Structure 1
Amino acid sequence: MRIAINGMGRIGRLLFRRLLHHQHIQIIAVNDIMPIESLAYLLQYDSVYGTFAEKVTIADNHIVVGDRSILYVQKADPLQLPWEALQVHTVLECSGMFSTAPLAGQHIQSGAKKVLLSTTGAGDIPLLIYGHNHVKDSSKLDIVSPGGCMTNCSTHILYLLQSIGIASAQINVLHSYTTRQELVDTWHKQPRRGRAAAESIIPVEVDLYQSLERLMPGLKDKVATLSIRVPVANGAMADFTVEMQRMVTPAEINNLFKHAAANEYRGVLDYTEEELVSLDVKGNTHSCLIDGSLTSVAGKQVKIIAWFDNEYGFTSRMIDWLELWSS
């Protein structure tokens, strides 16, 4: 499969690293507006995942790594991108700027066959979570949203709990700071996002509940969500407080997830009882890692904790999508 990456931010660059030598997927081109020297530097050196094992160099307008030479394009307008001439099958839309059907569709107009977003996207784009509803006519769709890292974590957990019965759920995701926050205090339309990310615990409004209601209409008006940004560069801990429709025990809840991790959710959801911290999940490929050691019950209320690498876990699902389409 011949692919291109549009937008070389955190997700775009990690996908580049992970897909560079993929057996069935070939990166043909990447597009961003930054200078090519800056991109080469950011691909070589990464504060979270370390220095890339191979040397990244520049030759004309190509990024060169080993025997691979990838065209670097600098176009702000997707309609000017050379996807047709390059015979690009799938564009990974990682800029975050083209997340509606008309905007993402510009990649199709430029010659690509499919577009996979790196975000939830607007309501006019199908929201398909890998491991949940990803087989739903996905081969016939031109543009797909695979959700975001928090949606991929939460969907599987709530879906499994629905087999018992959910009365209501509160989800609080303690999340590393992101590029949409600031290093020093400045103006932001969401004032808390404008506060120094490495100096405070910062509550951030998220639309996660809307995505979950789209995926599971039976949860409409039963789910509330919040993200708390904490001063770490990577990793997240999702805290679920769920009111069940009947009494349960921690053992019953843990067995539910343990069984799922070993069977139908293998590779997507995992289970552990080790005493982990966020750093321990760096590079973990799962959408969520249930921490059974922290499961607790009070009346019909269940507390569930799940870890995930917000970058590595999410890009793993994007790669799953590419492998599904390439097969």
Structure 2
Amino acid sequence: MRIAINGMGRIGRLLFRRLVNHPDIDLVAVNDIMEPANLEYLLRYDSVYGTFPPSMALENNQLKTGGKSVSVFQQSDPTALPWKDLGIDVVLECSGMFTNKAGAGIHLQGGAKKVLLSTTGSADIPLMIYGYNQHALTAETPILSPGGCMTNCSTHILYILNAIGIESVQLNILHSYTSRQELVDAPHKQFRRGRAAAESIIPVEIDLQTSLEKLFPMMAEKIAAVSTRVPVANGAMADFTLQLKNKVTKEEINKLFRTAALNEYKGILEYTEDPLVSLDIKGNTHSVIVDGTLTTVVGNHLKLITWFDNEYGYTSRMIDWLLYMRQL
């Protein structure tokens, strides 16, 4: 499978690191408007995940590392990218700019066979969560949205708890700050997003409710969600407050997730009773880590706390999608 990455932000660069020497995937090319020398520097040195272990060099618009050579393009217009000439099977669309069918479809017009977004995408693109409904993917699906990191965390929790019955759910995703926030106070259409990200706990609006209602139409008007950005560079904690249809105990809930983690959700969901903090989940490949020590039940009300690495866990599912698509 021959892969290209369009957009070398946080997700694009982490995918590069993880795919460049992958035994079953051939990373052929990357594209970003930044200077190639700056890209090489940011791939080599990362403030969250550390220095990239293999040596790397930029020569004649080729990134050379670990015996691999990856072409580097600097095109703002994706129609100018030579996907057909390079025989690209899948473009990982990580720029955040081409998230609807028409925009992502430009890669198909350029000769790529398929496009995998790194975000939820618009309503005209199929939303599929690996570990939940990946079996709905067919070889004829040209563009796919794997959801976002918060959707991948939440979907599995809601699906499992639906076996008990959910009356309503409130989600608060305590999330590290992102590139869509500001380092110092600045204008923003969402006023709070414009405040200095490393100085405050900042509630921000998110579209998680819309995504979850699309995946669980029976839960329409039963879900509310907010993200609270906190002054850390990586890691997230999802706080679920649910009103269930039936009474349960803390022990029953923890057993439910412990069993799921060891069986059908192995590799997707993890269960722990270790006293974790956010730094401990850096580099964790799971979409969600249920913290059994923080489960509480009052009557029909359940409080469930989970963790996830918003970058490493998410790119793990994108890689799962590539390997799944490779089999179709």
* TM-score, scaled relative to structure 1: 0.99
Deviations 1:190-240 (A, max 9, x none): 111110000000000000010000001011000000000000000000000
Q: Provide the C-alpha distance between the structure 1 equivalents of 2:203 and 2:192, rounded to a whole number of angstroms.
A: 7
Q: Provide the C-alpha distance between the structure 2 equivalents of 1:282 and 1:195, rounded to a whole number of angstroms.
A: 25
Aligned-pair Cα RMSD in Å = 0.6
Counterparts of residues 9-24 of structure 1 (less than 5 Å): 9-24=9-24
Q: Is the 8 A contact 2:21 2:66 kept in 1?
A: no
Q: Is the 8 A contact 1:235 1:279 kept in 2?
A: yes
1:41 corresponds in structure 2 to 41
1:257 corresponds in structure 2 to 257
For residue 55 of structure 1, report the CA deviation from its aligned partner. Answer: 1.8
Counterparts of residues 236-315 of structure 1 (less than 5 Å): 236-315=236-315
For residue 66 of structure 1, report the CA deviation from its aligned partner. Answer: 2.8
Counterparts of residues 161-200 of structure 1 (less than 5 Å): 161-200=161-200
Q: Secondary structure at the match of 1:88?
A: coil
For residue 69 of structure 1, report the CA deviation from its aligned partner. Answer: 0.9
For residue 56 of structure 1, report the CA deviation from its aligned partner. Answer: 1.8
Residue type of the partner of 1:111? G
2:65 corresponds in structure 1 to 65
Deviations 1:64-117 (A, max 9, x none): 113111100111111111000000000000000000001000000000000000
Residue type of the partner of 2:118? S
Deviations 1:123-146 (A, max 9, x none): 000000000001103332100000
Q: Provide the C-alpha distance between the structure 1 equivalents of 2:71 and 2:162, rounded to a whole number of angstroms.
A: 47
Q: Provide the C-alpha distance between the structure 1 equivalents of 2:32 and 2:251, rounded to a whole number of angstroms.
A: 49
2:31 corresponds in structure 1 to 31
Q: Secondary structure at the match of 1:138?
A: coil
1:159 corresponds in structure 2 to 159
Deviations 1:280-301 (A, max 9, x none): 0000000000000100001110
Q: Is the 8 A contact 2:120 2:127 kept in 1?
A: yes
Q: Identity of counterpart residues, as a percentage?
A: 63
Residue type of the partner of 2:320? D
Q: Is the 8 A contact 1:24 1:326 kept in 2?
A: no
Deviations 1:35-61 (A, max 9, x none): 000000000000000000012211111
Q: Provide the C-alpha distance between the structure 2 equivalents of 1:303 and 1:5, rounded to a whole number of angstroms.
A: 39
Structure 2 residues without counterparts, runs of 5 or longer: none
Mean alpha-carbon deviation: is it higher for 199-208 or for 131-140?
A: 131-140
Q: Secondary structure at the match of 1:139?
A: coil
For residue 166 of structure 1, report the CA deviation from its aligned partner. Answer: 0.2
Q: Is the 8 A contact 1:25 1:326 kept in 2?
A: no
2:114 corresponds in structure 1 to 114
Q: Is the 8 A contact 1:119 1:146 kept in 2?
A: yes
Residue type of the partner of 2:205? E
Residue type of the partner of 2:317? R
1:226 has 2:226 as partner: yes
Residue type of the partner of 1:298? V
1:54 corresponds in structure 2 to 54
Q: Secondary structure at the match of 1:140?
A: coil
* Moved beyond 4 Å, runs of 4+: none
Residue type of the partner of 1:261? A
Q: Is the 8 A contact 1:177 1:197 kept in 2?
A: yes
Deviations 1:243-289 (A, max 9, x none): 00111111111111111111111100010011000000000000000
1:140 corresponds in structure 2 to 140
The alignment covers a number of residue pairs equal to 327
Q: Provide the C-alpha distance between the structure 2 equivalents of 1:139 and 1:119, rounded to a whole number of angstroms.
A: 21
1:321 corresponds in structure 2 to 321
1:208 has 2:192 as partner: no
* TM-score, scaled relative to structure 2: 0.99
Q: Is the 8 A contact 1:84 1:112 kept in 2?
A: yes
Deviations 1:130-182 (A, max 9, x none): 00001103332100000000000000000110010000000000000000001
Residue type of the partner of 2:200? S
Q: Provide the C-alpha distance between the structure 2 equivalents of 1:219 and 1:274, rounded to a whole number of angstroms.
A: 32
Q: Provide the C-alpha distance between the structure 2 equivalents of 1:24 and 1:55, rounded to a whole number of angstroms.
A: 21
Residue type of the partner of 1:156? H
Residue type of the partner of 2:196? A
Q: Provide the C-alpha distance between the structure 2 equivalents of 1:95 and 1:306, rounded to a whole number of angstroms.
A: 28
For residue 325 of structure 1, report the CA deviation from its aligned partner. Answer: 1.4
Q: Secondary structure at the match of 1:135?
A: helix
Mean alpha-carbon deviation: is it higher for 10-19 or for 74-83?
A: 74-83
Q: Secondary structure at the match of 2:225?
A: strand
